[in-house]
Homo-oligomer: A and B are copies of this chain.
Amino acid sequence: MSLFDRNPALTALFADHGADLACEEQLPLADIRGALESGTMVLLGNPAHTGLRPLLIGQPARVKVNANIGTSPFQNHVPCEMRKLETALAAGADTVMDLSIAGDLTAIRAAMLAACPAPLGTVPLYAVAQTYIDRGDDPAAMDPEVLFREIERQAEQGVDFMTVHCGLTRRGAEWAAHGERTMGIVSRGGSILARWMLRNDKENPLLTGFDRLLDIARAHNVTLSLGDGLRPGAGSDAGDAAQWEEVITLGRLARRALEAGVQCMIEGPGHVCMAEVEAQIRGIKKLTHGAPLYVLGPLVTDIAPGWDHIAGAIGGALAVRAGADFLCYLTPAEHLTLPGEADVRTGVMASRVAAQAGENALGRPAARAAEAAMGRARKALDWDAMREVSLDPAEMDERRKPHRHEDACAMCGNFCAVKMLRD
């Protein structure tokens, strides 16, 4: 039995949207179907998410960009997060994750699902841990039953993909927490689960209960984003035994998911020195059988707080070239505070630049065609044509405004090199 035989929700989604998606991605429908069946591509879309435009993730489909938003205890203002949602979509984010950890999380999620035609992702563990932290309890006291019920509730609500840190084993957690790492565990979900395992002397409930998770995911075509609870939080921690222990487990779980009719992606690093990005991406892709890889950065330097979107764009471009399929944005606020609306826009654009740079290097036809069109437009000093093919026409308009009637740009004026040789 194939993935489609086991997953009727996916079959219906593909029947309704496959042809449009094939056209949009400029890929043969049969190739997409084959990639979905082999697990190297996923089709995001929970039938309960009203108004959703389903989305393919997995090269050679276009590389996608995710924006994280959501409340925090220090900045808990729902209208503000709703505006960030709009900003992210307007800037070209392909998906949004609601990482809220303050307020009425179920209501926030419902509002975001209603307002978001793009696939919406969550980390259900946050909602559960929040209830413990809010009342002063230790999330290590969490009842796994509550976690599974929360996952089911979110699936019923229409969440399209969920980060679940199923690959984190006790062995991995101990290696990372008590080993030679600089930063130990930096994933919030990873550290909550590690704390739970060490306190309760039990294995990760998301791992022991993986089959139950698969049943929920399959029923709603929720794509599992298998989280990297042990991702490196410092460049020096990348590629250690704890990280690979988790990746190996994620690869086994990805196989089990596919056999059970559930789509999944793999989450990846994190903080990685440029010299190691390619090895990381290729290593993870190999061990996880080519499942779509969703990376956070990677951040190629740790000393750029305030500019992590740039450190992340450098790593992201290298990662795309090496095979990553899905970039989670980093904003200038990373490591410091919650992003504001301008930060959200900056983060999305930085990731889109990285994706385009990587796809251009890979020679993807759509990426190459856009580059060629820009060259022609520039040679002709045709600002409308430049605008049309640029990643951010609104930014071009804004900056050109005072000089929009000039044929040359306002940097060079009559010194324009293109004009100089054309005349």
Contact = CB atoms under 8 A, between A and B. Distances in A.
Interface of A: 72-75, 101, 126, 129-130, 133, 139, 177, 182-188, 190-192, 194-195, 233-237, 273-275, 300-307, 309-311, 313-314, 317-318, 321, 332-338, 349-350, 353-354, 356-358, 360-363, 370-372, 374-376, 378-379, 386, 389-392, 395-396, 398-400, 402-403, 406, 409-418, 420-421
A303 B311 CA distance: 20
A106 to B, nearest CB: 18
A184 B371 contact: no
A335 to B, nearest CB: 6
B182 A417 contact: no
A372 B182 contact: yes
A274 B358 contact: yes
22 contacts: A72-B412, A73-B415, A74-B402, A74-B413, A139-B420, A182-B375, A273-B361, A274-B317, A274-B361, A275-B362, A300-B357, A301-B353, A303-B374, A304-B356, A306-B395, A310-B349, A314-B317, A314-B354, A314-B357, A337-B403, A337-B409, A338-B411
Nearest to A331: B411
A337 B410 contact: yes
Given A301-B353, A350-B310, A399-B337, A235 B360 contact: yes
A409 B372 contact: no
Nearest to A340: B399
B361 A74 contact: no
A225 to B, nearest CB: 18
B390 A303 contact: yes
